[in-house]
Amino acid sequence: MKLDGYDVIVGDTVHDVAFGPGKVVSLRDLDDKFEVRFVQGNSGLYRTTGIGPALQRRTLFWTDPVLFVPSKDPARTRLMIQLAVAINTVVRGLNEEIIAQVGE
Protein backbone atom coordinates (compact mmCIF):
# COMPACT_ATOMS: atom_id res chain seq x y z
CA MET A 1 0.00 0.00 0.00
CA LYS A 2 1.47 3.35 -1.07
CA LEU A 3 0.85 7.06 -0.63
CA ASP A 4 2.53 9.23 -3.28
CA GLY A 5 4.74 6.30 -4.30
CA TYR A 6 6.04 5.56 -0.79
CA ASP A 7 5.09 2.52 1.29
CA VAL A 8 2.63 3.21 4.10
CA ILE A 9 3.87 1.43 7.24
CA VAL A 10 2.32 1.20 10.69
CA GLY A 11 4.04 3.87 12.80
CA ASP A 12 4.57 6.33 9.94
CA THR A 13 3.89 9.98 10.73
CA VAL A 14 1.46 11.74 8.37
CA HIS A 15 -0.29 15.11 8.34
CA ASP A 16 -3.95 15.96 7.72
CA VAL A 17 -4.57 19.62 6.85
CA ALA A 18 -7.55 19.70 9.25
CA PHE A 19 -6.41 17.42 12.10
CA GLY A 20 -2.64 17.99 12.06
CA PRO A 21 -0.02 15.30 12.66
CA GLY A 22 -0.99 11.69 13.18
CA LYS A 23 0.38 8.14 13.12
CA VAL A 24 -0.60 5.23 10.92
CA VAL A 25 -1.96 2.63 13.36
CA SER A 26 -3.25 -0.10 11.04
CA LEU A 27 -3.42 -1.21 7.42
CA ARG A 28 -6.59 -2.62 5.88
CA ASP A 29 -5.37 -4.44 2.79
CA LEU A 30 -8.82 -5.75 1.84
CA ASP A 31 -10.22 -2.30 1.10
CA ASP A 32 -6.85 -0.61 0.45
CA LYS A 33 -7.20 1.82 3.36
CA PHE A 34 -5.15 2.64 6.43
CA GLU A 35 -6.11 4.03 9.82
CA VAL A 36 -4.54 7.20 11.21
CA ARG A 37 -4.79 8.28 14.86
CA PHE A 38 -4.27 11.96 15.62
CA VAL A 39 -2.86 13.76 18.65
CA GLN A 40 -6.36 14.76 19.82
CA GLY A 41 -7.27 11.05 19.98
CA ASN A 42 -9.59 10.93 17.00
CA SER A 43 -8.87 8.60 14.10
CA GLY A 44 -10.02 7.90 10.57
CA LEU A 45 -9.60 5.57 7.61
CA TYR A 46 -7.80 7.01 4.59
CA ARG A 47 -7.54 5.76 1.03
CA THR A 48 -4.13 5.59 -0.64
CA THR A 49 -5.14 8.77 -2.48
CA GLY A 50 -5.00 10.69 0.84
CA ILE A 51 -8.78 11.07 0.94
CA GLY A 52 -10.26 10.50 4.38
CA PRO A 53 -13.68 10.00 5.91
CA ALA A 54 -14.71 13.64 6.34
CA LEU A 55 -14.23 15.28 2.94
CA GLN A 56 -14.27 13.94 -0.59
CA ARG A 57 -10.95 15.57 -1.40
CA ARG A 58 -7.37 14.95 -0.40
CA THR A 59 -6.38 16.15 3.06
CA LEU A 60 -3.63 13.68 4.09
CA PHE A 61 0.03 14.11 3.17
CA TRP A 62 3.41 12.93 4.48
CA THR A 63 4.06 16.39 5.98
CA ASP A 64 2.20 19.69 6.22
CA PRO A 65 1.76 20.78 2.57
CA VAL A 66 1.30 24.47 3.38
CA LEU A 67 4.49 26.19 2.27
CA PHE A 68 3.57 29.81 2.89
CA VAL A 69 0.73 32.03 4.00
CA PRO A 70 -0.97 33.36 0.86
CA SER A 71 -1.03 37.10 0.35
CA LYS A 72 -4.16 39.11 -0.30
CA ASP A 73 -2.29 40.40 -3.35
CA PRO A 74 -2.77 37.79 -6.12
CA ALA A 75 0.49 38.79 -7.85
CA ARG A 76 2.51 38.07 -4.69
CA THR A 77 0.75 34.75 -4.21
CA ARG A 78 1.46 33.75 -7.83
CA LEU A 79 5.13 34.66 -7.33
CA MET A 80 5.35 32.52 -4.19
CA ILE A 81 3.74 29.58 -6.01
CA GLN A 82 6.17 29.97 -8.93
CA LEU A 83 9.13 30.02 -6.52
CA ALA A 84 7.86 26.92 -4.69
CA VAL A 85 7.37 25.05 -7.98
CA ALA A 86 10.85 26.07 -9.17
CA ILE A 87 12.47 24.89 -5.94
CA ASN A 88 10.56 21.60 -6.12
CA THR A 89 11.72 21.08 -9.72
CA VAL A 90 15.37 21.65 -8.77
CA VAL A 91 15.15 19.32 -5.76
CA ARG A 92 13.40 16.61 -7.80
CA GLY A 93 16.16 16.88 -10.45
CA LEU A 94 18.87 16.57 -7.80
CA ASN A 95 17.16 13.52 -6.31
CA GLU A 96 16.95 11.84 -9.73
CA GLU A 97 20.61 12.62 -10.36
CA ILE A 98 21.65 11.12 -7.02
CA ILE A 99 19.55 8.00 -7.66
CA ALA A 100 21.14 7.62 -11.11
CA GLN A 101 24.64 7.91 -9.63
CA VAL A 102 23.91 5.30 -6.96
CA GLY A 103 22.64 2.92 -9.65
CA GLU A 104 25.90 3.13 -11.63
Within its chain, how far is the Cα of 54 from the centroid? 17
Q: Confirm if 59 and 2 have CB atoms less than 8 A apart.
A: no
Range of the domain at 34: 2-61
Rounded to a whole number, what is the distance in angstroms from the first to the last CA of the chain? 29
Domain co-membership, 37 together with 77: no
Domain count, the chain: 2
Would you call 58 exposed, middle or buried from its count of C-beta atoms within 10 A (0-12, 13-18, 19+)? Answer: middle
Domain co-membership, 43 together with 84: no
Domain co-membership, 88 together with 46: no
Q: What is the pLDDT of residue 26?
A: 96
Q: What is the pLDDT of residue 103?
A: 62
76-102 residue pLDDT tens: 999 999 998 898 888 877 767 766 666
Within 8 A by CB and 6+ apart from 35, the residues are: 24, 25, 26, 27, 28, 43, 44, 45, 46
21-80 residue pLDDT tens: 999 999 998 888 999 999 988 999 999 999 998 888 999 999 998 878 889 999 999 999
